[in-house]
């Protein structure tokens, strides 16, 4: 099979080889380090001091640049994970590095006891950029935190505070099957996955779980519902965009019951779908009351944010919530720069163009493996291929050929590269991925 070039060349190649048996490169350029390697020695020495919460291959990354990573053995990898949709501008971005250095020499932290030069500035920029992009038209205020789960905890607290001002028993939440909102106790309580929840039960009461259908949501929503939390595009749950029509009707039902709608765009926001916000495709009347974000906002520096409308703001008072580190000048200044890049119209247009390269290749791959691939899903550079069986072996085969991809729910391989990844790097990575799939499914 010819390597990926232009769409026209790809189609021609597909026709030319439609009756030929595909040829795959079986060589392993980056086999996982062995017991004798410096990598495994390092892991053996240091892992005994780490809490047992992660299962990882025997690869130790030492440096990165753009959409590439290098391990301790000096081997290069193409990175289609971006730290799980975090390094939107790529690894070791020179301007991000310059800002980090300059601000570290100026002021890193002074707490929220005092104002600083960047917390309010980033908040203003987020509100203005969101409105200008066609997202959350009544965005008003921002609470800055340190992570996605913190952003969602704030959202849940704000929704409950708003609800209790309407009625003492208006405290329940609705969440959706296959969703993921974080691992702290509140966020975990609205993440209905037994794998994550069971070890920590009992969780916060008053959470109802629905399918993304009107019939299902009508069964669980009530006048006791204070908030409905949903990802416009599920990431961890299998890269599943939620239908526009459903999101429109969901907001109508929420208004009827006096409930707030929370959009968790921690993974799908900040340019990931080719729009600044995934909900930007919705009409104004379906926009969320609360919007959460993190991941890409710091390009690797920990930061999260919760954006609210003035209606929600009116329910809050001094002391209702807080954070020591959130909104520190270092993180806020980095966030300001990242936002200026990912909100640029030309930048977002490029994300959509890069998405088409992936999608075209995936459709051809599906033709090569019709018995193995179920579906291609996603928007922008949040994409997934669902396989008929667990794709973990594909992830391993890709890594040992020099490509990093990750899984998601429902036997899905997830692709979330840097948003500014070069076209030639995309093509090289997709060729490796095809070889990995071939190695697993070709006998």
Q: What pLDDT was estimated at residue 431?
A: 98
What single-letter DSSP state applies at residue 40? H
Please check the confidence at residue 380 and state whether its pLDDT lies above 80: yes
Can you tell me the distance from the alpha carbon of 305 to that of 311, in angstroms, rounded to the nearest whole number?
Answer: 18
Residue of 302, 311, 262, 333 lying closest to 150 (CA atoms): 302
Instruction: Taking residues 347-362, report their average pLDDT.
Output: 99
Beta bridge partner(s), residue 79: 404
Using CB atoms within 10 Å of the CB of residue 428, give its burial: 0 to 12 exposed, 13 to 18 middle, 19+ buried. middle
32 Cβ partners below 8 Å, 6+ apart? 57, 58, 59, 396, 399, 400
Enumerate the domain spans of the chain. Answer: 57-79+346-440, 97-343
Can you tell me the distance from the alpha carbon of 154 to that of 169, in angstroms, rounded to the nearest whole number?
Answer: 20
Instruction: Taking residues 114-141, report their average pLDDT.
Output: 98
Helix (H) or strand (E) holding 440: helix 423-441
Please check the confidence at residue 5 and state whether its pLDDT lies above 60: no
pLDDT in tens, 36-58: 999 999 999 999 999 999 999 99
Sign of the C-alpha dihedral computed for residues 110, 112, 115 and 121 taken in this order: positive
Say what percent of the chain tops pLDDT 70.
94
- State the distance between the two ends of the chain, measured CA to CA, in whole angstroms: 17
Residue 23: pLDDT band (50, 70, 90) is: low
Residue of 433, 437, 388 lying closest to 411 (CA atoms): 388
Say which residue, 133 or 21, is predicted with more confidence. Answer: 133
What single-letter DSSP state applies at residue 278? G
Please check the confidence at residue 8 and state whether its pLDDT lies above 90: no
pLDDT in tens, 148-174: 999 999 999 999 999 999 999 999 999
Q: Phi and psi (nearest 5°) for 42? A: -65, -45
Please check the confidence at residue 139 and state whether its pLDDT lies above 60: yes
Q: What pLDDT was estimated at residue 27?
A: 82
Say what percent of the chain tops pLDDT 90.
93
Do 90 and 103 touch, CB atoms closer than 8 A? no
Please check the confidence at residue 22 and state whether its pLDDT lies above 90: no
Helix (H) or strand (E) holding 77: strand 76-79
Helix (H) or strand (E) holding 176: strand 172-176
Instruction: Taking residues 15-29, report their average pLDDT.
Output: 57
Can you tell me the distance from the alpha carbon of 110 to that of 326, in angstroms, rounded to the nearest whole number?
Answer: 10
Q: What pLDDT was estimated at residue 168?
A: 98
Can you tell me the distance from the alpha carbon of 380 to that of 275, in angstroms, rounded to the nearest whole number?
Answer: 8
CA dihedral (43, 45, 50, 52) in degrees, to 10, reads 60
Beta bridge partner(s), residue 233: 241
pLDDT in tens, 269-309: 999 999 999 999 999 999 999 999 999 999 999 999 999 99
**For tokens 């409905």, what's the residue?**
228
pLDDT in tens, 174-220: 999 999 999 999 999 999 999 999 999 999 999 999 999 999 999 99
What single-letter DSSP state applies at residue 259? P
Do 312 and 101 touch, CB atoms closer than 8 A? no
Buried b (16+ CB within 10 A) or exposed e, 245-274: ebbebbbebbeeeebbbbbbbbbbbbbbbb
**Do β-strands 406-408 and 412-415 pair in parallel, antiparallel, or remain unpaired?**
antiparallel
Beta bridge partner(s), residue 174: 208, 228
* Alpha carbon separation from 287 to 186, 217, 249, 313 (Å, rounded): 23, 18, 11, 16
Average pLDDT over the chain reads: 95
Please check the confidence at residue 3 and state whether its pLDDT lies above 50: no
Least confident stretch, 19-33, 238-252, 309-323, 420-434: 19-33
The fold for domain 57-79+346-440 equals: 3.90.1150
Tell me the residue length of the chain. Answer: 443
Instruction: Taking residues 18-33, report their average pLDDT.
Output: 71
Q: What pLDDT was estimated at residue 443?
A: 62
Q: In what order do the strands lie in the sheet with 403-404?
A: 61-65, 68-71, 76-79, 403-404
Can you tell me the distance from the alpha carbon of 302 to that of 146, in angstroms, rounded to the nearest whole number?
Answer: 5
Domain 97-343 matching CATH 3.40.640.10: the answer reads yes
What single-letter DSSP state applies at residue 80? S
> What is this structure's pTM?
0.93
Q: Phi and psi (nearest 5°) for 37? A: -75, 160
Tokens of 155: 């959202």
């Amino acid at each position: 099979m010819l390597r990926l070039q232009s769409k026209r060349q790809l189609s021609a190649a597909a026709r030319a080889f439609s009756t030929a048996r595909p040829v795959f490169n079986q060589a392993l350029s980056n086999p996982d380090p062995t017991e004798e390697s410096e990598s495994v020695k390092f892991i053996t020495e240091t892992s005994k001091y780490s809490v047992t919460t992660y299962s990882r291959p025997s690869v130790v990354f030492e440096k990165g640049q753009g959409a590439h990573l290098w391990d301790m053995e000096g081997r290069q990898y193409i990175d289609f994970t971006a730290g799980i949709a975090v390094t939107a501008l790529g690894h070791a971005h020179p301007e991000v590095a310059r800002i980090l250095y300059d601000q570290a020499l100026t002021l890193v932290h002074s707490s929220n006891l005092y104002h600083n030069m960047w917390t309010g500035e980033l908040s203003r920029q987020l509100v203005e950029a969101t409105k200008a992009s066609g997202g959350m038209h009544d965005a008003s205020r921002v609470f800055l935190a340190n992570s996605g789960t913190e952003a969602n905890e704030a959202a849940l607290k704000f929704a409950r505070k708003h609800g209790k001002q309407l009625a003492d028993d208006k405290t329940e939440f609705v969440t959706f099957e296959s969703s993921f909102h974080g691992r702290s106790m509140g966020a975990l309580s609205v993440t209905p996955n037994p794998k994550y929840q069971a070890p920590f039960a009992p969780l916060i009461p008053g959470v109802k779980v629905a399918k993304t259908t009107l019939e299902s949501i009508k069964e669980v929503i009530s006048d006791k519902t204070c908030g409905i939390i949903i990802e416009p595009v599920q990431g961890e749950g299998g890269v599943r965009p939620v239908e526009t029509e459903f999101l429109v009707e969901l907001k109508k039902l929420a208004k009827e019951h006096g409930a707030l709608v929370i959009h968790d765009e921690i993974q799908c926001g900040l340019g990931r779908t080719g729009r600044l916000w995934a909900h930007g495709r919705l009409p104004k009347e379906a926009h969320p009351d609360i919007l959460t974000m993190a991941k890409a906002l710091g390009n690797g520096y920990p930061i999260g944010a919760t954006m609210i409308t003035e209606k929600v703001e009116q329910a809050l008072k001094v002391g209702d919530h807080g954070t020591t580190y959130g909104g520190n000048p270092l993180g806020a200044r980095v966030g300001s720069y990242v936002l200026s890049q990912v909100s640029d119209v030309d930048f977002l247009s490029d994300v959509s163009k890069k998405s088409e390269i992936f999608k075209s290749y995936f459709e051809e791959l599906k033709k090569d493996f019709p018995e193995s691939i179920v579906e291609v899903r996603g928007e922008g550079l949040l994409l997934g291929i669902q396989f008929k069986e667990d794709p973990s072996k594909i992830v391993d085969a890709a890594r040992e050929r020099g490509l990093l991809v990750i899984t998601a729910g429902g036997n899905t391989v997830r692709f979330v590269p840097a948003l500014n990844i070069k076209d030639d790097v995309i093509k090289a990575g997709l060729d490796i991925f095809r070889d990995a799939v071939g190695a697993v499914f070709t006998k």
